[in-house]
Amino acid sequence: MPITAHLDLTLKAESLPAAPAVLRDILADTRAFDGCLGVDVLVDSADPAHFLVVEQWASLKHDSAYRAWRAADGASPLGDLLAGPPVLTRFETSFEI
């Protein structure tokens, strides 16, 4: 069953100039990862340091494999940009509603 993952990020103000290039590099790898169906980045219109990364995955298994890979040491420089820990929420697509 398809999965939609929301990764809610708040960046440090001083990280904002570097953030687009870092996110582009990180998300190129995400988009190329097996099972990734797409990624969008939303920026809060009232707070330019608040990002929501919306990822579509073929299955929970694909998303879980990606999360395990990202959790490996050195897999992502994103942590240096963040003002606090990211919040991940995963949603299953409902075909019954």
Residue-wise pLDDT for 20-79, tens only, equals 999 999 999 999 999 999 999 999 999 999 999 999 999 999 999 999 998 886 667 888
Alpha helices for 1-97 (secondary structure H)? 19-32, 60-71
* Residue 39 Cα distances to 4, 51, 52, 83, angstroms: 10, 13, 10, 22
What are the sequence ranges of the domains in the chain? 3-92
| Token couple for 8 | 């809610």
Q: What pTM did the predictor assign? A: 0.90
Q: In angstroms, rounded to a whole number, what is the distance separating the alpha carbons of residues 29 and 92? A: 23
Decide which of 3.30.470.20, 3.10.580.10, 3.30.70.100, 3.30.930.10 is the CATH code for 3-92: 3.30.70.100
